[in-house]
Structure 1
Amino acid sequence: MAHRIDSTADVVEFLLEQHNRIKQLFAETADAPTSEERERKFYELRRLLAVHETAEEEIVHPRARKVIDHGSDIVDARLAEENKAKRALAELEKIDVNSPEFTVALAKLRDDVIDHAGHEESEEFQQLRAQLDHEDLERMRGIVEFAEKTAPTRPHPGVESPAANMLAGPFAAMLDRTRDLIAKPRG
């Protein structure tokens, strides 16, 4: 079942809700009682992380770079974290979900992603909310939602800039969605 976010939320509320859902999915993946359930939860987690980060890279970070204090420094640090997380997620995809290596790698990725989300929330999102009016934030939410609908559903390390996302995104998204149909966990 897809997690639906309130349609009246602005972009900051929307992204905060997704951060909460990502944290929840890390726990559900780690605590899954069966191999099949762990696979399903990891599939959902990987997909949400991929589309969420792509939308931030294409829409949120460029705006933050322009309108918040020290925006370039803040965004550059977030992009470095996102690249690291994408690499870890891509490696995690190759590991058997029932192995001890998966459990250790998932916990490490969870810690890194939660730390990254905390930086975004305190350094980027709060300033965006302070610098932009409500209409801008609502418009950005619609654009983020659209970007997520067309985003790749798997990690693509090294594709963190808006230009790289725009260039690689449509082809990567098409391939990812085809791979997802073939490899989607049952149930």
Structure 2
Amino acid sequence: MLNDLCRLVFPHAFAEEVVLWPALRRRLADGEQLTLEVEKEHQAINELFTSLEKLGVDSPEHHRLFDEIVHLLREDVRDEEDVLLPRLQQACTREDLIRLGTYWQAVRSTAPTRPHPVVARRPPGNALSALPLTVLDRSRDLLDAAARTRRTLVCSGPPDERAPRGRRRSRRAPTSPDSRGAQGHADLRRLADLRKLTAAARRTAPARPCRVSAHLRKQFCPHPFRVRAESGDQQVRPSATYRPT
């Protein structure tokens, strides 16, 4: 959650500091004072996020800093939407607003995504540091996303496929009553198929006694029975009598 909030907040603020606030200072007489206040808020948010990353999630200090960040973010949004952006809209033409919006979106798409309190809040310092910080931050975002995806796949697997870290999983397939029952059902199906073939041979072949092989009798026939074959004392082989359906 904290990483998602960083990716939402810091590219947005960086694009404002590079594109919108310089334009506001050029067009308004009190633009310097207006942008100074919002830049202080951005600096405070960067410092709080940096301190928050060093604390444990369950610590009381973590909750206190997070509540303070939420309060500052609300104040920052209120100042921008109620004061700065309406003043900028009044001072710019429609073409200027479209150009600034396009530039702002381009910078936001390539801006750093993590807090950097030691970086300047105004050009050219922030613009010069953007390229290496962007590569670093977005590489960390990719690694974090890959780690979360792997953790989700491991946690969503069946319980018997998850093993404690550092312990080797057994390669022997577990035996359960369900597996033995499935094998028993398969044997019964094969026996039923064999009996069907035997009955069909009895109806079509001339009466002639023939022994069933010891292998078939042991595997499928607990009680010996007699079948009729097409030829003399030829022994009935498994390949000639049993064909599973």
2:66 equivalent in structure 1: 106
2:53 counterpart (80, 93, 98): 93
For the 8 Å contact 1:129–1:137, the answer to whether it is kept is: yes
User: TM-score normalised to the size of structure 2?
Assistant: 0.57
Structure 2 gaps, min length 5: 150-245
Q: Which has the higher helix share?
A: 1
Distance 2:93 2:137 in 1: 35
Q: Is the 8 A contact 1:68 1:124 kept in 2?
A: no
Partner of 1:63: 23
> Could you list the per-position Cα deviations for residues 10-56 of structure 1 after superposition, in whole angstroms to 9, with x for gaps in the alignment?
xxxxxxxxxxxxxxxxxxxxxxxxxxxxxxx2211111111011101
- Once residues 65 and 168 of structure 1 are traced to their aligned partners in structure 2, the CA distance between those partners, rounded to angstroms, is 22
**How far did residue 113 of structure 1 move?**
1.5
- Provide, for residues 57-111 of structure 1, a one-character-per-residue CA deviation record: whole Å limited to 9, x for no partner: 1001100111124001111111111111111111112223343322221111110
CA deviations 1:108-127 (Å, max 9, x no partner) are: 11101211221122221110
What residue in structure 2 maps to residue 153 of structure 1? 113
1:44 is matched with which residue?
4
The answer to whether structure 1 residue 123 and structure 2 residue 83 are counterparts is yes
The equivalent of 2:126 in structure 1 is: 165
Match 2:40 to one of 55, 80, 83: 80
Whether the aligned pair in 2 keeps the contact of 1:46 and 1:153 (CA below 8 Å) is yes
Match of 2:148 in 1: 186
- Aligned equivalents of 1:129, 1:97: Cα separation in 2: 41
**Structure 1 residue runs without a partner (length 5+):** 1-40
Deviating beyond 4 angstroms after TM superposition, the runs of 4 or more aligned structure 1 residues are none
TM-score, length basis structure 1: 0.73
CA distance in 2, matches of 1:95, 1:138: 42
Greater RCO, CA 8 A, separation 6+: 1
Aligned-pair identity (%): 30
The residue matched to 1:147 in structure 2 has which SS? helix
**C-alpha distance in 1 between matches for 2:62 and 2:75:** 20
Larger radius of gyration: 2
